[in-house]
């Protein structure tokens, strides 16, 4: 029986999605979980997989059309319905087979006037009829009221396709690309780079493609009249008509190249370097996220072998290529004098702070002004955890890193010490204690410091928490986080040891009241008790934990008790059940 495909849930608070590209055509066979189409929301770009195996018998939503979550977008039939699927494209090409049928019964002189129909300027009139389209600053997430234009990706007079990136916009939460809502020519740019405008403000105007080359409307006319007499002469021959479409396809592709080149522009922007017609463009489509990721890592998309459907380049392909470039560029060890390669990209430059950098600076300064911050440091022996990780690695090939253990111990301690999981409202002179542990994790990215939030971290076990932190960290580096994933934290943990630092003095992420810094885990000699109760020197895996807390609510004794709870949990090392040991 036919199966209905509906727009799936695409995240919290997301109510609709826009179809950016269909990856399958009507009549195509699809497998279970094979990508059907690409959908874009105000938070993410994603692929929608097929819920069943069968034949795509009907597409109900066009590209660039926005529908509500749960709306029906396509119908998939059984394998036996494949023969029915081509009926729809055949109906569109019906005028071509009619002359062949007309050649058998000669009385049909009426179809001869029908070839005059191609002279109708309906297709050519559409571009000229299309009015100019206003491009506005779209909604960029909850509580975001304005955006800053950081770079225009198109110039006035450039041809743009539907959903092709027009410009880059930065807010205090995310950096993203704004796609073109329609196909046409960029007629006017109303907002300069580095200018900030409100959500909904007009930023550009796109005109119809018919404004550019009026000669295109004349070119198709002879192209359409030529094939009509050819089938009559070559009707008795079966081999030559098969060659005729191939010959007719060549001028079509040439006309597309000569006629203003939207296909060339798309290929150039996608980084494929393939100029072979619209079919190649569709297969070589690269999402804005993948293109931006490639630019950040300096990856040439022309040299990336795509692992997606039809050879499409995916995020994983770019990351793999970036790692291969790094390993290839790694200098071989030699006895030659070491040469330090200076970074000349910033030396001697003066530039304005990015929107994200300004936001970080404002929040940090505001935190220092509001909170009465002090820092405490404890030393923790994590040798038992190191042994557990070694056992898991021998069994599974990999194990959760130390940071996952620190995060779990912190969440457990927050339940016992709720003062550190609170908010102080200085104006109202009141404090609110949260009933859920939303753990914000600081991530150092090329654009600046981000703090994605693990929602309800207290409900997750060690492995679940490790997976969530890894996922958020990876998407923070690829600019794939939604605005909702960067808000709502109740306590922050930062891994200062990632750069080798022993400890730091973390700044509180307002309106929170505490933040925990985790230093580098290093092996060093320490004094420990032996089995007989004596003192001996042994090599142990040690780490410093530093707690920055707001003394308006948390006294030093409160902070110390929290740190001791975390320390005891880590030194006890009782995580066997969490790791399946």
Per-residue pLDDT of 67-82, as tens digits, reads: 888 899 999 887 655 4
Give me the percent of the chain exceeding a pLDDT of 70. 72
- What is the average pLDDT across 476-504? 87
pLDDT value of position 345: 75
Helix (H, G, I), strand (E, B) or coil at 575: coil
pLDDT value of position 376: 95
- What is the average pLDDT across 403-432? 90
Q: How confident is the model at residue 562 (pLDDT cuts 50, 70, 90)?
A: very high
15 vs 238 pLDDT, higher one: 15
Q: How confident is the model at residue 417 (pLDDT cuts 50, 70, 90)?
A: very high
Helix (H, G, I), strand (E, B) or coil at 61: coil
For residue range 20-44, list pLDDT tens digits in order.
888 999 888 988 888 888 887 766 6
Q: How confident is the model at residue 569 (pLDDT cuts 50, 70, 90)?
A: very high
Closest CA to 540 of 563, 523, 562, 515: 523
3-state SS, one letter per residue, for 137-205: CCCCCCCCCEEEEEEECCCCCCEECCCCEEEEEECCCCEEEEECCCCEEEEEECCCCCCEEECCCEEEE
42 vs 148 pLDDT, higher one: 148
CA distance 423 to 431: 6
Identify the residue whose tokens are 């109510």.
15
For residue range 174-196, list pLDDT tens digits in order.
677 888 888 889 989 999 888 88
Per the CB < 8 A criterion, the answer to whether 272 and 302 are in contact is yes
For residue range 116-132, list pLDDT tens digits in order.
444 444 443 344 445 68
Q: Can you read off the two tokens belonging to residue 190?
A: 């109303």
Q: How confident is the model at residue 12 (pLDDT cuts 50, 70, 90)?
A: low
154 vs 274 pLDDT, higher one: 154
Per the CB < 8 A criterion, the answer to whether 155 and 186 are in contact is yes
Residue 541 has phi, psi (to 5 degrees) of -85, 115
CA distance 465 to 473: 12
For residue range 344-399, list pLDDT tens digits in order.
777 788 888 877 778 888 888 888 888 889 999 999 999 999 999 999 988 888 88
pLDDT value of position 227: 43
Domains by residue range for the chain, with CATH = 1-103 (2.40.50.100), 128-212 (2.40.50.100), 355-579 (3.30.559.10)
- What is the average pLDDT across 233-246? 42
Per the CB < 8 A criterion, the answer to whether 86 and 38 are in contact is no
For residue range 335-348, list pLDDT tens digits in order.
556 676 777 777 78
Q: How confident is the model at residue 242 (pLDDT cuts 50, 70, 90)?
A: very low
Statement: the pTM of the whole predicted model exceeds 0.75: no
CA distance 569 to 448: 32
Q: Can you read off the two tokens belonging to residue 175?
A: 């950096």
Helix (H, G, I), strand (E, B) or coil at 571: helix
- What is the average pLDDT across 503-528? 92
258 vs 527 pLDDT, higher one: 527
pLDDT value of position 70: 87
pLDDT value of position 421: 94
Helix (H, G, I), strand (E, B) or coil at 351: coil
Give the CA distances from residue 322 to residues 255, 271, 317, 325, 498, in Å, rounded to whole numbers and listed in that order: 38, 16, 9, 5, 20
For residue range 181-238, list pLDDT tens digits in order.
888 899 899 998 888 888 889 999 998 754 443 344 333 433 343 444 444 444 444 4
For residue range 287-332, list pLDDT tens digits in order.
666 777 888 888 888 888 877 656 777 777 888 888 888 877 665 5
306 vs 492 pLDDT, higher one: 492
Does residue 166 surpass a pLDDT of 70?
yes
For residue range 530-553, list pLDDT tens digits in order.
878 788 999 999 999 999 999 999
pLDDT value of position 480: 83
pLDDT value of position 377: 95
Q: How confident is the model at residue 148 (pLDDT cuts 50, 70, 90)?
A: confident
Does residue 513 surpass a pLDDT of 90?
yes
Provide CB contacts within 8 A for 337, sequence distance 6+: none
The DSSP element (H or E) to which 491 belongs, if any, is strand 491-494
Angle between helices 402-416 and 556-572 (to 10 degrees): 130
pLDDT value of position 64: 81
């Amino acid at each position: 029986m036919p199966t209905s495909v509906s727009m799936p849930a695409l995240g919290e608070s997301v109510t609709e999605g826009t179809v950016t590209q269909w990856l399958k055509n009507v009549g195509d066979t699809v497998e279970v979980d094979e990508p059907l189409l690409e959908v874009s929301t105000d938070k993410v770009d994603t692929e929608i997989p097929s819920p069943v195996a069968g034949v795509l018998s009907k597409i109900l939503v066009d590209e660039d059309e926005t529908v509500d979550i749960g709306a029906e977008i396509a119908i998939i039939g059984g394998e036996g319905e494949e023969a029915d699927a081509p009926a729809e494209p055949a109906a569109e090409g019906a005028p071509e087979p009619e002359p062949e049928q007309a050649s058998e019964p000669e009385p049909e002189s009426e179809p001869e006037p029908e070839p005059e129909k191609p002279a109708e300027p309906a297709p050519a009139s559409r571009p000229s009829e299309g009015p100019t389209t206003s491009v506005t600053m779209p909604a960029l997430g909850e509580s975001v009221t304005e955006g800053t234009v950081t770079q225009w990706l198109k110039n006035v007079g450039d041809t743009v396709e539907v959903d092709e990136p027009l410009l880059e916009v930065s807010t205090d939460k995310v950096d993203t690309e704004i796609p073109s809502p329609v196909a046409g020519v960029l007629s006017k740019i109303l907002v300069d780079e580095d200018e900030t405008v409100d959500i909904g403000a007009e930023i550009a105007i796109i005109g119809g493609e018919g404004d550019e080359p009026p000669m295109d409307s004349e070119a198709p006319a002879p192209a359409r009249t030529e094939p009509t007499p050819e089938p009559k002469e070559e009707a008795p021959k079966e081999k030559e008509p098969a060659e005729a479409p191939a010959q007719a396809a060549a001028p079509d592709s040439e006309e597309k190249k000569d006629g203003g080149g939207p296909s060339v522009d798309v290929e150039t922007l996608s980084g494929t370097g393939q100029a072979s017609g619209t079919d190649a463009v569709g297969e070589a489509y690269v999402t804005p996220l993948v293109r931006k990721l490639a630019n950040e890592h300096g990856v040439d998309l022309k040299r990336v072998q795509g692992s997606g459907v039809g050879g499409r380049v995916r995020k994983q392909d770019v990351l793999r290529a970036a790692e291969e470039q790094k390993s290839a560029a790694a200098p071989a060890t030699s006895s030659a004098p070491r040469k330090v390669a200076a970074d000349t990209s910033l030396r001697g430059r003066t530039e304005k702070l990015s929107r994200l950098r300004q936001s970080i600076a404002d929040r940090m300064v505001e935190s220092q002004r509001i909170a009465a911050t002090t820092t405490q440091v404890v030393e923790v022996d994590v040798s038992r955890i190191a042994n557990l990780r070694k056992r898991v690695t021998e069994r599974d090939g990999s194990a959760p890193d130390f940071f996952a253990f620190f995060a779990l111990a912190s969440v457990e301690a927050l339940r016992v010490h709720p003062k550190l999981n609170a908010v102080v409202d200085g104006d109202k002179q009141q404090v609110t204690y949260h009933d859920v542990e939303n753990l914000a994790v600081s991530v150092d990215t090329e654009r600046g410091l981000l703090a994605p939030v693990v929602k309800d971290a207290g409900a997750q076990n060690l492995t679940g928490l490790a997976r969530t932190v890894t996922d958020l960290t990876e998407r923070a580096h690829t600019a794939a986080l939604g605005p909702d994933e960067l808000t709502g934290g109740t306590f922050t943990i930062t891994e200062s040891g990632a750069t080798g630092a022993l400890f730091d003095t973390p700044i509180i992420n307002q309106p929170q009241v505490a933040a925990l810094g985790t230093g580098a885990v290093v092996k060093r000699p320490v004094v420990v008790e032996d089995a007989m109760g004596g003192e001996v020197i042994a090599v142990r895996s040690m780490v410093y934990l530093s707690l920055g807390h707001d003394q308006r609510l948390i006294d030093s004794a409160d902070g110390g008790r929290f740190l001791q709870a975390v320390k005891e949990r880590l030194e006890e090392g009782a995580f066997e059940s969490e790791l399946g040991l």
